[in-house]
Amino acid sequence: MTTSTLHLLKGMGYLVSTISVALLAVVSWSSASQSPVLTACLLGGAATSIVGMFCRWLSYEIEKRQEER
């Protein structure tokens, strides 16, 4: 596999993980929406997970661009 293909695969993996977090949050919403604390935890957990995956993806993109120089 080429380096470009590996980076694309990593990006697709993070996209799939982001979608799975969103789907799990949707499924959990009916229970969590009954309590403000659970709602905050659900939204905060989903958001931090997605931000974390974005940060990792961004770090791979930065590494890729540095290697291309």
> Residue 1 pLDDT > 80, yes or no?
no
d(CA 28, CA 17): 17
More confident residue, 68 or 14: 14
pLDDT at 15: 92
Domains: count for the chain: 1
d(CA 31, CA 60): 36
pLDDT at 66: 86
**Residue 14's Cα: distance from chain center in Å?**
5
pLDDT at 40: 97
9: containing domain: 3-68
d(CA 27, CA 44): 15
Over residues 54-68, the mean pLDDT reads 86
Give per-residue pLDDT as tens, 7-57.
788 889 999 999 999 999 999 999 999 999 999 999 999 999 999 999 988
